[in-house]
Amino acid sequence: DAGVIQSPRHEVTEMGQEVTLRCKPISGHDYLFWYRQTMMRGLELLIYFNNNVPIDDSGMPEDRFSAKMPNASFSTLKIQPSEPRDSAVYFCASRPKTGKSRNTIYFGEGSWLTVV
């Protein structure tokens, strides 16, 4: 089975530009999570969706960040305008609602964002 797929793997952009990160969760998974990894805070949850509906976005740092999930197989995390302090690795993850794996989340390989 294909895992969580993220794109782009690497993105270098100039301050002020819009950045869009994309995620395809594992098929059949009901929950989708966006995490950001930084040295200081480790893996911090930005937002998560249940059946395409945003449930908790309290981790989104500022209004410059927004996330959507138009269908069960696609989500985007957008930063507009981007700033150098947004430079980090952004991970998408998913998990099923039921079954043996319901207590485990599965990560994509991450999108490495550098804002210069």
Partner 1 sequence: DQQVKQNSPSLSVQEGRISILNCDYTNSMFDYFLWYKKYPAEGPTFLISISSIKDKNEDGRFTVFLNKSAKHLSLHIVPSQPGDSAVYFCAASSGNQFYFGTGTSLTVIP
Taking the mean position of all CA atoms in its chain, how far away is CA 14?
20
Query: Is residue 8 close enough to count as binding partner 1 by CB under 8 A?
Result: no
DSSP 23-73: EEPPTT--EEEEEEEETTTEEEEEEEEETTEEEE-TT--STTEEEEEEETT
Q: Which is nearer to partner 1, 65 or 91 (CB)?
A: 91
Of 18-26, 29-37, 64-72, 74-82, the segment contacting partner 1 by CB under 8 A is: 29-37
Q: Is 74 in the site for partner 1 (CB under 8 A)?
A: no
Nearer to partner 1, 81 or 106 (CB): 106
**Residues 7, 31, 66, 87: which binds partner 1 (CB under 8 A)?**
31
Q: Applying CB under 8 A, does 2 fall inside the site for partner 1?
A: no
Buried/exposed code over 7-30 (b: 16+ C-beta within 10 A; e: otherwise)? eeeebebeeeeebebbbbbbeebb
- Amino acid present at 2: A
Nearer to partner 1, 17 or 50 (CB): 50
114 makes contact with partner 1 (CB under 8 A): no
